[in-house]
Amino acid sequence: MANPAVHVLTLLELLQTHRHMSGRELAVRLGVDRRTLRRYIQALEELGIPVTAERGRHGGYRLMPGFKLPPLMFSSEEALAISLGLLAAQELGVADVAPALETARTKLERTMPARLKQQAQALSESARLELPSAQAPGDERLLILFATASQARQRVRLAYQDDRAQHSDRVLNPYGLVYREGRWYVSGWCHLRRDLRSFRLDRITEATLLEASFERPADFDAAEHLANSITSLPRAIAVSVRLHTDLAHAVEELGRHIGVFTPDENGVMLYARTDSLSWFARQLAHQPFDFEILAPLELRAALSAQAERLHRLASRE
């Protein structure tokens, strides 16, 4: 179901495009009943847009003669930002968003000067963004609900199913949304666990806004919290490695998902947990900087096994 704001904007576009439309025509085009149509007309009037209603057999709605919204004007940089944003949105795994992206692109291009329109079309036709593919379909309704609740500081009641198919009912103070490795997450204060938690949106089966409000911590970073939550999952083996590089290069080469990075006087300490020492050794093996394995000692053996394998492959005739 489309957001009411989308219907109101569509109604405005119909009234700007057509000189006069009957209530029946507008209701059919919007896919709503006449009562809902009147609410949308009232919403336009409250925004200061003069809509005149004509009664009778040939009655209907029209904008007041001479009224026109000011045209949208974009700089070259703004047009580029919008075009790239639309391209990125295609990869975010939100259900039912593809048709909306196409109509949004068409509407924007109609308002652009010829030069900017050509630039936008060129990007749309020739550019591709290699973002992580969506692992689970996003729900537009949930995205809007949690974004709205986070902005308004409004609690949410949700039903959740974890990775073991266990169901629970939670009350959450939603602090922010994160798109990570093909999935959407919401992070915030969970009243059931009385602690910070992150929830995958594709595992939320129901969500309802509550009247209660909350205060959001000023320094909370949803993406950082999610990364720390994932790296601190209770995996079997704890790992400690000193990396002989700076923090920026460590994160760039290994990625934040692998563990927690802490700078010290001799480089950067990496603390992580893993279920596979062989996998972790492979991650270390292709790093361009030196490192010291502090724990566990078995990781050194796994790294030696990787080195022996590479030596064997390099020695083949």
**Domains along the chain with CATH numbers:** 4-63 (1.10.10.10), 76-126 (no CATH), 140-229 (2.30.30), 232-315 (no CATH)
For residue 135, what pLDDT band results from cuts at 50, 70 and 90?
A: low
For residue 154, what pLDDT band results from cuts at 50, 70 and 90?
A: very high
Residues 6+ apart with CB under 8 A from 6: 100
Mean pLDDT of all residues in 74-83? 75
Q: Tens digit of pLDDT for each residue in 163-195?
A: 778 899 999 999 999 888 778 899 999 999 999
For residue 112, what pLDDT band results from cuts at 50, 70 and 90?
A: confident
Q: At what angle do helices 34-46 and 23-30 cross, to 10 degrees?
A: 90
Q: Tell me, what's the pLDDT at 1?
A: 46
- Which residue, 97, 78, 81, is CA-closest to 89? 97
Q: At what angle do helices 76-89 and 114-126 cross, to 10 degrees?
A: 30
Q: Tell me, what's the pLDDT at 151?
A: 92
Mean pLDDT of all residues in 300-313? 93
- Alpha-carbon distance of 179 to 162, in angstroms, equals 18
Whether 280 contacts 272, CB under 8 Å: yes
CA atoms 112, 117, 121, 123: torsion sign: negative
- Which residue, 141, 136, 138, 134, is CA-closest to 156? 141
| Distance from the first to the final alpha carbon of the chain | 64
The alpha carbons of the chain give a radius of gyration, in whole angstroms, of: 27
Least confident of 36-45, 73-82, 284-293: 73-82
